[in-house]
Amino acid sequence: MSNSNGHAPNQNPKKARKTTTSVKVFSPSEALQAVDALRYPFQRPLRPTHVAFLAQEMRTDTFEMCAILIAHISNTGQKFLVDGQHRLWAIAQANVDVTLAVVEVECTSMEEVGLLYANTDAGLARSARDAMSFAASALSLSGHEFTTLNGACGLVIAGFEPASSEFQRKTSVRSRSLRVAVIERLALPFSQFRADIAKSEVMTKPLNRAAVAAVATITFKHQEDSAREFWGEMSRNNGLMPGDSRHALFSWLLANNANRYPPYIYARYVAGAWNAFQERRSYSRVALMSPDNPIVIQGTPYDGRRIVPWEEA
């Protein structure tokens, strides 16, 4: 027996999967949360150029709304993003809100999720675990430089606050997805900082400390000209006189290793010297700003009135 097309009918037709569709506006932070919470463990490596292309479309409002695909295992409640990671990563990189359709397909097992993934154009996806090493190579950073930037970005995500703070408890500091987004955001000013101090022979190790790099990177992002004048001259200490905050910080960094203070405290000492330089005031001794208040980094969003979220860093 054949059907009207001349083919034998399917004796074991597959039951149609239950599918629901909705529309959601994703903020950058929500996009990263979705990437992290819905990670499918068998994704392939990401193509950063494709993310950058989508992000540019989002920034210029030429991105056309499309869908992301989520598999939902009904008996366990697990959900996996099987298509759409590039769109979500691009939202974070573009730092804009974007509307996407969300298609959720019900599955009964991981095997069904795998079949759904295999039949979906998911070749441009990546897992959060892969993202860290991929970011290092994509940004052309050495392993040592990437380690320093990674630590600095952890401080930025934490708002330069202690681990016990309410802000840290509400922030996904350990999220690899979030960490990669912040790394990509701060890679350029960090590279500018590294280039500026490249000729220093004495300060190589002190300036590789995460707390120092975090403050320096923020200053390069928001006050590039002043940052070049401050960090380059400080690292070489060539003819700097007592009373110059760069001279004071140079001496302080040599005398105080990173283990002496928690990173959020160490960063406040470093920021104090920068602030004195920005205010053009005499500064002979590096002093600690109040650790109970938000950090102040003059000329940047870190004005001490509130804890600055990473999106504004």
- Measure the CA angle with vertex 56, ends 55 and 62; round to 5°: 105
- State whether 140 and 248 are in the same domain: yes
User: Residue 67's beta-bridge partner residues?
Assistant: 101
So what's the pLDDT on residue 216? 97
- State whether 164 and 23 are in the same domain: no
So what's the pLDDT on residue 124? 36
Query: How many domains are there within the chain?
Result: 2
- The upper half-sphere exposure of residue 40, i.e. CA atoms within 13 Å in the direction of its Cβ, equals 30
Q: What range defines the domain where residue 213 resides?
A: 131-312
- State whether 119 and 139 are in the same domain: no
So what's the pLDDT on residue 263? 94
- State whether 162 and 294 are in the same domain: yes
So what's the pLDDT on residue 137? 59
- State whether 117 and 135 are in the same domain: no
So what's the pLDDT on residue 146? 84
In 158-289, which residue ranges form alpha helices assigned H by DSSP?
166-169, 176-196, 210-222, 224-227, 233-236, 245-255, 263-278
So what's the pLDDT on residue 60? 85
Among candidates 26, 57, 39, 25, which has minimal Cα distance to 177?
A: 39
So what's the pLDDT on residue 174? 59
Q: What is the mean pLDDT of each run of 10 residues along the chain (313 residues)?
A: 39 59 91 92 77 87 85 93 92 93 89 77 40 58 83 92 75 64 85 88 86 97 96 92 96 93 96 97 92 95 93 88
Name the DSSP class of 84: -
Within-domain flag for 302: yes
* Domain end among 94, 126, 158: 126
* Domain end among 76, 106, 126: 126
Within-domain flag for 114: yes
- State whether 157 and 172 are in the same domain: yes
- State whether 121 and 201 are in the same domain: no
- State whether 25 and 69 are in the same domain: yes
Within-domain flag for 301: yes
Within-domain flag for 5: no
